[in-house]
């Protein structure tokens, strides 16, 4: 029996409603997929940018470490050798504007020997992490007691035990490294937590729930990216400190080389070398990174005065 006209209209209306809901559901699924994919792409871009900043910072630390190592092995070693030949080497240097105590001389000598050991270790591939620690902190701070014989192990140990240096150096967790998912890391007071499960975004089976889930995931990604951007700011400050320290040390080393003497026969020249040498050693011991992994504040003002001596 044919349906009355009014029932035909109702059936058409119900069918139309079903089509509309179907179209709406598909639109929600498509929107959820678009939001999820875009969030994952944004996260991956931010992670790659952070990794680049991380690698660059580690490279700058190692570069500074090499500069410090060279200065200890040449300029500071020369200063120690000449002072030891001096008539006053057995006691505090006297008769000069500037003086170096026996304890200071021994400390310089220990740091020179430690630096020479690091250089030998680099040749043997046994000083992984040592240069970064040498660059981040002053020699005495990095080595603790500055004892010889354990320089490479001590500095590499510092790098492995310090979360920031280990994270900068990368590598497997078992080797002292920290990946993006390597747990909490405090970098200048910023806590970098575990990474999001990129690629783990799964839409719900219902369209509306899928859209809600996608937007929640997008919000989580936005927060994670904001944290990564904060870390990049800290890394940029660390890079700036490494550059500033490297330039200052290079200028002081060049100045030392222009006025250095081989004995104390000329008291004025010998005194001048001691002044510049002590200043150079003091700058070498200034840390560019705090214990919390943040950049040392006002570094330029702390070290620029030595260039004016």
pLDDT at site 60: 95
Nearest-angstrom CA–CA distance, 46 and 229: 8
Q: Quick count: other Cβ atoms within 10 Å of Cβ 259?
A: 13
Question: 175 lies in which domain range?
Answer: 41-308
Q: Which two tokens stand for residue 98?
A: 């500037």
Based on the number of CB atoms within 10 Å of its own CB, is 275 exposed (0-12), middle (13-18) or buried (19 or more)?
Answer: middle
N residues, the chain: 309
196: DSSP letter: P
Rounded Cα gap, residues 246 and 216, in angstroms:
45
Whole-model pTM?
0.81
Q: What is the pLDDT of residue 114?
A: 86
Listed in order, strand segments (DSSP E) in the chain are: 185-187, 190-192
Residue 172 to residue 178: CA distance in whole angstroms:
7
pLDDT at 146: 41
Residue 20 CB contacts under 8 Å (≥ 6 apart), including other chains: none
Q: Is 163 inside a domain boundary?
A: yes
Residue 272 lies in a domain: yes
Token duo for residue 101: 């105590």
How is residue 296 annotated by DSSP?
P
* Assigned domain for 146 exists: yes
Give the per-residue pLDDT at 101: 81
CB 255 within 8 A of CB 79: no
89 located within any domain: yes
| 10-residue averages of pLDDT along the chain (309 residues) | 47 47 76 90 90 92 94 95 74 52 86 86 72 86 57 74 80 44 67 63 77 89 89 95 96 96 92 92 92 91 81
What are 128's strand-pairing partners? none
5 lies in a domain? no
How many domains are there within the chain?
1
pLDDT at 76: 95
């Amino acid at each position: 029996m044919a349906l009355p006209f009014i029932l035909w209209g109702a059936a058409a209306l119900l069918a139309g409603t079903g089509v509309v809901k179907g179209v709406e559901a598909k639109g929600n699924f498509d929107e959820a997929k678009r939001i999820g994919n875009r969030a994952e792409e944004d996260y991956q871009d931010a992670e790659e940018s952070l990794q680049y900043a991380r690698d660059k910072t580690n490279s700058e630390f190692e570069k500074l470490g090499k500069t410090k190592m060279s200065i200890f092995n040449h300029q500071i070693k020369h200063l120690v050798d000449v002072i030891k030949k001096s008539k006053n080497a057995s006691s505090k240097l006297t008769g000069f504007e500037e003086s170096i105590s026996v304890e200071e001389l021994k400390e310089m000598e220990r740091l020179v020997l430690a630096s020479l050991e690091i250089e030998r270790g680099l040749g043997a591939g046994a000083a992984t992490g040592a240069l970064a620690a040498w660059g981040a902190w002053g020699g005495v701070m990095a080595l603790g007691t500055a004892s010889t014989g354990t320089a490479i192990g001590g500095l590499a140990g510092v790098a492995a035990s310090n979360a920031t240096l280990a994270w900068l150096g990368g590598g497997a967790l078992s080797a002292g490294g920290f990946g993006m998912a390597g747990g909490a890391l405090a970098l200048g007071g910023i806590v970098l937590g575990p990474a999001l499960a990129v690629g783990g975004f799964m839409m719900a089976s219902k369209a509306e729930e899928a859209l809600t889930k996608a937007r929640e995931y997008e919000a989580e990604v936005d927060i994670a990216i904001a944290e990564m951007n904060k870390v990049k700011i800290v890394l940029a400050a660390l890079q700036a400190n490494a550059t500033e320290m490297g330039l200052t040390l290079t200028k002081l080393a060049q100045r030392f080389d222009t006025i250095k003497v081989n004995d104390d026969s000329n008291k004025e020249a010998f005194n001048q070398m001691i002044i510049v040498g002590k200043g150079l050693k003091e700058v070498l011991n200034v840390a560019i990174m705090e214990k919390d992994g943040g950049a040392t504040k006002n570094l330029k003002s702390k070290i620029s005065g030595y260039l004016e001596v």
